Chain A
Amino acid sequence: MGKILLGRYVPGDSVVHHMDSRAKLILSFFFIIIIFLANNWQSYVLLFILTIGSIMAAKVNFGFFIKGVRPLIWLILFTVLLQVFFSSGGTVFWKWGPFNLSYYGLINGAYVFCRFVLIIFMSTLLTLTTAPLEIADALEKLMMPLKKIKVPVYEISLMLSIALRFVPTLMDETAKIMNAQRSRGVNFGEGSIMQQIKSVIPLLVPLFVSSFNRAEELATAMEARGYRGGEGRTKYRVHYWHTGDTVGCVIFVAVMIILLFVRHW
């Protein structure tokens, strides 16, 4: 659990850390979309330059990103291998039943690999430099237009911020209960599939029970402090759009325009 870097926040002091969380969120989405525009090596080089530039601007150790990819490496390799062995076209180097190793397959595999790495790098960068609650706040702000079509934006964002807030707490709780049950002789992740499923029960039941208790206590505490629903509340954390945010957006849009020129049509 402790090895996964994706989704964790490291406080820091850099251009990227001080950016508006709305800007960062929009840029991350934007980036994921423009990744799918890239379709030749020049465009991937361009995107890598942008990504590495952003990472350098955030002054985060590059090694952390490599480690962030590691837990997902099997998923990536699986997808890449599917691409490599099942795409056809171009020179065929090797063929066996439904499998074939073709020029296009290899190229596509390499592209899929680049896409994965770029997406993981950028989203790791987003979560490493933005506190979870800021992300929830930014989402609330960005969802505001949806209020027009009766989406309960306040409630969704409240649930989101509570959920985010309790992720680490629940992780700790899980680790604690796991340790307690291990001490009582449960072997997690060992034995046959049936045994493994059974061994999860002593973990899941207490976790659910404690979540129910926690929810009840939290609701009571919120009511006692005068919470009566999202409508008409004021905000403690206020977003400010700085020049840096505009510069960031301009850079990303510029990259997209260059990308449109260098890609194959």
Chain B
Amino acid sequence: MAIIFKAVNYTYQPNTPFEQQALSDVSVEIPSGSYTALIGHTGSGKSTFLQHLNGLLRPTSGEIQIGKQVINAETKNKQLGELRKHVGVVFQFPEAQLFEETVIKDIAFAPKNFGKTEEEAEVIARRMAHQVGLDDDLLVKSPFELSGGQMRRVAIAGILAMEPEVLVLDEPTAGLDPKGRLEMMRMFKRLKDEQNLTVILVTHQMDDVANYADNVIVLEEGKMIANGTPSEIFSQPDWLVAHHLALPKAGEFTLELEQKTGIKFSTLPLTEFSLAQKIASLLHGGDVNHG
């Protein structure tokens, strides 16, 4: 489902001493089936932005079109249930949302809420538990007996069980070990490719942006300051520094290499893979201008 923001403003606690404008005049289109990364400094409005995606917040002005549904300041709560079925949101530290007696019940909770029968929900729950790599013997345990990483998987499976068309991920790998992080990110990529999901990822990991995203939105103080492909966004290192962002590691390494050796690459490689390719072709004498 394509998501279109049209001049969206959002103000927290309007008309009080705590009034705070979190989004100002955000207009952006997230194409259907894209893998969009949302980046920005802490407090730039990323979380506010993603709470608009399934109607937890409604814009104070402007409107959002998600699939066929339009959300504006007047949209009623009743109309949002249908939308939430299609947009699954994995919040930061989603293990805090677990509450059922067993893992399988917790995963089946959302599909049941959205009208599946007990049996259907359990079938989906089992399938999703496998998707996220949970063993069968864990399914009958209490979610509170599991390790932090396993709880995270259960929580994510609980969202995937809604079978959403749009998957919103708010720092899904924060606090995980490197192996868990890699597995998780690969799983999202695989799900996206298999089921043609639209994925929106909020992250501070520029490597994840470079490795997985095909579209990047940059927020600063509630305003959208850039929107483009990762190679467009990462093409101006000075601009990134000015906005408290950074290059992916491969990019930084390349800049340093260019400085030290005087070699100029034609384009800045953003992933380790493309960097390795460039260096390999460099060794074979191609794709570089000796400066």
Contacts and interface: CB of A to CB of B under 8 A. Distances in A.
Interface string A30-66: 0000000000000000000000000000000100100
A228 interface: no
A180 B96 contact: yes
B16 A3 contact: yes
B262 interface: no
Name the prevailing secondary structure of the A interface residues: helix
Interface string B8-34: 000011011110000000000000000
A179 B51 contact: yes
A185 interface: yes
Interface in B105-125: 109-110, 113-114
Contacts of A201: 99
A2 B97 contact: no
B192 interface: no
Contacts of B15: 67
Nearest to B54: A183
Contact of A176 (B13, B17, B91, B98): B91
Given A176-B91, A185-B162, A64 B17 contact: yes
Interface stretch (A80-88, A95-103, A204-212): A204-212
B146 interface: no
Contacts of B54: 183
B-side interface size class: 20 to 34
Given A5-B16, A177-B97, A201-B99, A183 B89 contact: yes
B18 A183 contact: no
A16 to B, nearest CB: 15
A174 to B, nearest CB: 11
Interface string A169-185: 00001001101111111
Contacts of A187: 77, 81
Nearest to A181: B97
Given A180-B96, A202-B99, A185 B13 contact: no
Interface residues of A, number: 27
Contact of B98 (A3, A64, A183, A206): A206
Contacts of B51: 179
Nearest to A188: B77
A72 interface: no
Contacts of B109: 184-185, 202
A186 interface: yes
Interface string A155-198: 00000000000000000010011011111111100100000000
A209 B101 CA distance: 13
Given A176-B92, A179-B51, A210-B96, 4 more contacts: A10-B18, A67-B15, A180-B94, A206-B96
9 contacts: A2-B16, A179-B56, A183-B56, A183-B87, A184-B109, A187-B77, A206-B96, A206-B97, A206-B98
Interface of A: 2-3, 5, 8, 10, 61, 64, 67, 173, 176-177, 179-187, 190, 201-202, 205-206, 209-210
